[in-house]
Amino acid sequence: MKSDDAIQSLSALAQPSRLDIFRLLVKAGPDGLAAGTIARRLAIAPNTLSAQLAILAQAGLLDSRREGRSIIYSADFSAMARLLVFLTDDCCGGRPEVCAPLFDLARSCCKPAVKEPIAKEKVR
Amino acid sequence: MKSDDAIQSLSALAQPSRLDIFRLLVKAGPDGLAAGTIARRLAIAPNTLSAQLAILAQAGLLDSRREGRSIIYSADFSAMARLLVFLTDDCCGGRPEVCAPLFDLARSCCKPAVKEPIAKEKVR
DNA sequence: TTCATAGTTCAATATTTCATGAAATATTGA
DNA sequence: TCAATATTTCATGAAATATTGAACTATGAA
């Protein structure tokens, strides 16, 4: 990832409505949500939402697809991961303990992504 | 972490000079770098740099301490981790494979900082 | 003291970003 | 086709942000 791309992603997320939108879509998972649903849930005017979605999509953080009259938006998880990698690039500098919080992050994210559905219940 | 705090951190990082500064300090590790050193390395005017450092510090992303005439800035790794957690909150939504990239992130960061190798690799 | 070095603060200007209303486009069903 | 729904585009004024020169504070050395 280039610095310009990271700036674009960070700028896209650095706005209250857009951060809410993105986090809502992160929670929604790959299925995503229709623009109208997002507008209703977050109480954002349709035209304002459209502009926000365009900014997030342009930054590569969202995918979109049309389904009937609706346009479904979903978070691009791999783009997200690339951004996080960029931010933490060479974070250790020879001191593995420095980035220990990052491992805690990965572990707290969800149950270890092994093939078997280890835990039935939801994380948190 | 509250949304406002995340916005502040993201806004702080969403600017070319500040992103460069932060990443330089991430690489520098806990020892940090003097403001003047950062200014020289990144070719930023001292007063401009000062403003940028203040914004990053206000966002909680940097620590600072005086050493003689110099003021040493260093990245706050735990603040960083909190931001990443916030962004990926509930990212799984019942689909562990969705956040697999985050595990790749943690592993690529540096050598696993775990007491014992949990599960098996092969997360893909 | 006096001076030089290291950073910061302030004020002004230039630029970017934001939310909104009005109008336009796309899809579906009657 | 027409009407309704879903979303986007455009133009605009207001607000936030960035950069710069000049002045200011703090530390250490002569």
The residue type found at A108 is: S
Query: How far is the first Cα of chain A from the last one, in angstroms, to the nearest whole number?
Result: 32
Q: Is the CB of A34 under 7 A from strand D?
A: yes
Q: What share of chain A has pLDDT > 90, as a percent?
A: 60
User: Cα separation of B73 and A59, whole Å?
Assistant: 30
Q: Would you call A29 and B95 a contact, using CB atoms and an 8 Å cutoff?
A: yes
Question: How is residue A43 written in tokens?
Answer: 């109480």
The residue assigned the tokens 């939108």 is: A21
Angle of CA points A5, A9, A15, to nearest 5°: 150
The residue assigned the tokens 């995918």 is: A63
Which residue, A38, A20, A100, A23, is CA-closest to B91? A23
User: Cα separation of A9 and A3, whole Å?
Assistant: 10
Q: At what angle do helices A3-13 and B3-13 cross, to 10 degrees?
A: 150
pLDDT confidence tier of residue A85, bands split at 50, 70 and 90: confident
- The domain A3-78 is placed in CATH, from the list 1.10.10.10, 3.40.640.10, 3.30.43.10, 3.40.50.12500, at 1.10.10.10
Least confident among A19-23, B90-94, B110-114: B110-114
Q: How far is CA A47 from CA A37, A62, A65, in A?
A: 13, 18, 18
A30-55 mean pLDDT: 96
Chain A residues lying within 8 Å of B74, measured CB to CB = none
Spacing of C-alpha A69 from chain mean position: 24
Q: Is the CB of B2 under 7 A from strand D?
A: no
pLDDT confidence tier of residue A119, bands split at 50, 70 and 90: very low
Provide the pLDDT for residue B102: 63
Nearest residue, CA→C1' of D25: B69
When CB atoms are compared, the residue of B16, B101, B119 closest to A81 is: B101
Helix ranges (H only) for A1-124 are 3-13, 16-28, 35-42, 46-58, 77-87, 100-109
> Do the Cβ atoms of A63 and A32 come closer than 8 Å?
yes
How high does pLDDT run on average in chain A? Answer: 84
- On the question of pLDDT at B50 being above 60, the answer is yes
Q: Is the CB of A58 under 7 A from strand D?
A: no
B4-33 mean pLDDT: 95
Question: How is residue B115 written in tokens?
Answer: 């007491």
* SS3 letters across chain B: CCHHHHHHHHHHHCCHHHHHHHHHHHHHHHHCEEHHHHHHHHCCCHHHHHHHHHHHHHCCCEEEEEECCEEEEEECHHHHHHHHHHHCCCCCCCCHHHHHHHHHHHHHHCCCCCCCCCCCCCCC
